[in-house]
Amino acid sequence: MNESGVDMNAVIVAVAVMLILSLLRINVVLSLVVGAFAGGIVSDLTIAETVKAFTDGLGGGAVIALSYALLGGFAVAIAKTGITDVLIAKVVVLLAGKEGATRKNLIKALIFFSIFAMAIMSQNLIPIHIAFIPLLVPPILKILNVLQVDRRIIAVIIAVGLVGTYSFVPFGFGFIFQNIITTQITSAGMLAELSDVPKAMAIPIGGMVAGMFLAMFVYRKPRHYKETQSATEIEVKQVSPWLIVATIMALIAALAVQIKTESMIVGAMAGIITMYITGALKWREADEILTDGMRMMSFIGFVMIAANGFASVINATGDVDTLVTGALDVLNGNVSLAVFGMLIVGLIVTMGIGSSFATIPIIAALFVPLSLELGLSPLAIICLIGTAGALGDAGSPASDTTLGPTSGLNVDGQHNHIWDTCVPTFIFINIPLIVLGWFAVSFVL
């Protein structure tokens, strides 16, 4: 309670401060820190307790930061082999032909499909997560500029490919996310099977895909970008068959080791070591290449570390529980409105901490007993928890789902993180997700 005697929910205050500062173009890391302390101040925590909660939480982001640093180095090492140049060269040849609206539209469709397919595969078949973005996106900015493609479309496509895949496909990152859902739901008092998650999430994910096509329509008008050296320079190499084989071996090694150890760090190391052994990564060039990749992903690492500190403060306030119970008290037992209220709580929490994976443990212990009391079916409860967790990942300034696309689309300084990535992904992913998730839980499942 603040000095005026009016109760203020620390979660809402913290998230609101963080989002407002981000929308005002304040650095995301600074916005997270200020938001966390604002939440701590309006709660019952003292300044010292807020500082301790924040610093204690920072360590939780270290593993993620190191994972992304190594994956960034792995991605840049793959890019340096010239394999992506082969694909880019093919598209450039197509563009060099006769002009025509149909031809351009076909090329756009090919690029959109390729990026969407890579986003999907980055969660399972080639589990490098967002590290594929600096591998694939910067080299094709020239083509996107020639086609006058609005980059906001690309941001939405990538976000749907990432969030939709791990929410629906139970392999790779999807296995981790869905295993967290079932484990936490079971711990909260209701038996949940991994095989039920895709069935429960089908309708909400359909909403995300519909939102992606709507974004393509809304942002269909040509958008002009200035040509810069980083956006236009495409150096096409002759790639030897052995180099292709060696790179594929590295990807397979990274995938196999990550699945075996359930560690992105060890998986990335396996891929890098394989490139060393096969000669795909030259010893004399390796230090510079890997350093460039790590530097490219370092900002994301710092954001994720700060986001863990933010999440730690949110947990320490205890106001997530208050937020949920307060919302349900206002709704007075109305099931459909109660479901909508819980989805909004999931959105607020995930927007703040920037991680669907970290949101599930926070909300499951609260949502499962309440859902059982409301009489929801097991599939409906799984859908509610999964959707509430996934909500906000797209749109959050602190999420790798938004930071990743920005890292690739803004290499020439012409793509704003908040207004060109976070706002479009929020509108075209979170809104359809919450509407279809609410419909599925309230009326279908």
Q: Which two tokens stand for residue 348?
A: 């607020």
Q: How far is C-alpha 387 from the chain's CA centre?
A: 14
Residue 392 lies in a domain: yes
> Is the CA virtual torsion 398, 404, 405, 410 positive or negative?
positive
Residue 415 lies in a domain: yes
Residue 1 lies in a domain: no
CA-angle at 298, arms to 295 and 299, nearest 5°: 120
Helix axes 47-58, 28-42, angle to 10 degrees: 140
Give the contacts of 24 (CB within 8 A, at least 6 positions apart).
none
> Residue 24 CB: number of other CB atoms within 10 A?
9
Three-class SS of residue 223?
Answer: coil
Task: State the virtual CA torsion across 413, 414, 416, 422 in degrees, nearest 10.
Answer: -120
Residue 3 lies in a domain: no
- Greatest alpha-carbon pair distance for the chain in Å reads 72
Check: pTM over 0.85? Answer yes or no. no
Residue 271 lies in a domain: yes
CA distance 86 to 109: 19
Q: 133-142 b/e with 16+ CB inside 10 Å = b?
A: bbbbbbbbbb
Q: Which helix or strand (DSSP H or E) is residue 152 part of?
A: helix 151-168
CA distance 328 to 336: 11
Place of tokens 């996106």: 137
Residue 308 lies in a domain: yes
Give the contacts of 253 (CB within 8 A, at least 6 positions apart).
270, 271, 273, 274
Q: How far is C-alpha 345 from the chain's CA centre?
A: 19
CA distance 386 to 64: 21
Question: Tens digit of pLDDT per residue, the chain (445 long)?
Answer: 444 444 678 888 888 888 888 778 787 788 888 988 998 888 888 888 888 888 887 876 677 677 777 777 777 777 677 666 666 666 666 656 555 667 788 888 888 998 999 899 888 777 667 777 877 788 788 888 888 999 999 999 999 999 999 999 888 778 878 888 888 788 777 888 888 999 999 999 999 999 999 999 999 999 999 876 544 444 555 667 777 788 788 878 877 887 777 677 787 788 888 888 888 777 777 777 777 767 766 776 777 778 778 878 887 887 777 777 776 666 666 888 888 888 988 888 888 777 787 778 777 777 887 888 788 899 999 999 999 988 888 888 878 899 889 988 988 889 999 899 999 999 999 999 999 999 999 988 7
Q: The domain containing residue 259 runs over which residues? A: 10-223+232-444
Q: How far is C-alpha 433 from the chain's CA centre?
A: 15
Tally of domains in the chain: 1
Residue 294 lies in a domain: yes
- Asked if 251 and 135 touch (Cβ cutoff 8 Å), the reply is no
Q: What single-letter amino acid sits at 210?
A: A
Residue 2 lies in a domain: no
Rg, C-alpha atoms of the chain: 22
Backbone angles phi, psi at 263, to 5 degrees: -135, 120
